[in-house]
Structure 1
Amino acid sequence: MGIFIIGFVAIYFAIRLFLTLMFLAAPALVLASAATSSLGRDEFPEPDEFVDPHLESLLKQIDDALTVLSEAVNEYYQSGESNGIALTSKSNGTRFDARKSLGRQLNAALDDAANKIAEYQSLRVPYIDRRQSLKEQYYTEVKKWARPKSTGAANWVGAIVFGVTLIASLATGIGDLAANVVVANPYNARPGLIAGFIAGALGYGITYYAVMRTKIARSNYSAVYEERAAFLAKLNMAETTDAQGQPDEPGATGSDHLKEFQDDPAENWHVILNVGADATIDQIKAAYREAIKQYHPDNFEGRGRKIMDLANQETRRINAAYEAAKDLRQF
Structure 2
Amino acid sequence: MHPVIIFIVLAAILFVLALPYLASLSLYSLPVAVAWWLSKIPKGDGPKLADIPDEAGDAILERFKEQKRAAEAHVQSERRRGRAANVRFIEREDRFENRSNLGQGLNRSIEAGLAEIEELDEHIERLADPGLRRFLAWRNDYIAWCELGRYRGAVLGAVLGTIAGLVVLEVFDAAPSTVFVPNFIGPTIVYSLLFGWVGALLGLFLGRRHLATRAEAEIEAMEAAADDTQTEEHIVAATMPDEDWHEILGVAADASNDDIRQAYKAAIRRSHPDFVANMSENIQQAAVGETQRINDAYRRAKELRGF
Fold match (TM-score > 0.5): no
Work out which of the two has the higher radius of gyration on C-alpha atoms and give 1 or 2. Answer: 1
TM-score, normalization: structure 1?
A: 0.34
Higher relative contact order (CA 8 A, sep 6+): 1
TM-score, normalization: structure 2?
A: 0.36
